[in-house]
Amino acid sequence: MTHDSQPASPLFTQVDITAGAHVGRARDNQALADEQTALLRSILAAQDRQNELLEELVNQLGAAQRQRVVELGQWKQANPELARNCRGAAEALSRVQIEFLTTMTREINDNAEALMDGEFMLNEFVDRFGPRLAHLNGVLQVMAQLSSSPNPTNSGG
């Protein structure tokens, strides 16, 4: 066997064990840790502020909702007969809405291909059903709101 005289790669690398190099890296590590800590504190402060703003928003929305509930309750007390009539009208309109939705879904299912392929058919469908559905839903929502019985948990104000 012949040995080539190629230089062998060293198994160990040079390690600097002087005090100055170690202290410099420790200072760099400490500075990095201090910077990360400062960033985390900034993030925490921003989250605290965001939570405060969300609490204020919830309080504002809650106050407005409570005010609406109180006013609606007062209206119902001042107009009990009309509130009862609104309940009957809402129930009747609900049946009308169910029938309307049944007709509309049947129309969609029967003409699905034509609605997908032709813009004219889709526009015709939307013109025929869209406004009526939107208005019916709006009226039904008003009637249901005016006829609903007050919620005892919210009536305290």
User: What does the H/E/C string look like for 46-90?
Assistant: HHHHHHHHHHHHHHHHHHHHHHHHHHHHHHHHHCHHHHHHHHHHH
Instruction: Show the domain range for 34.
Output: 19-78
The answer to whether position 11 is within a domain reads: no
pLDDT 10s digit of each residue in the chain, 157 long? 555 555 556 666 665 566 555 555 667 888 899 999 999 999 999 999 999 999 999 999 999 999 999 999 999 999 999 999 999 999 999 999 999 999 999 999 999 998 888 888 889 999 999 999 999 999 999 998 888 665 444 444 3
The answer to whether position 3 is within a domain reads: no
Q: Is residue 101 located within the same domain as residue 61?
A: no
The answer to whether position 27 is within a domain reads: yes
Number of structural domains in the chain: 2
The answer to whether position 139 is within a domain reads: yes
Q: Is residue 63 located within the same domain as residue 85?
A: no
Classify residue 73 by burial, with Cβ atoms within 10 Å: 0-12, 13-18, 19+: middle
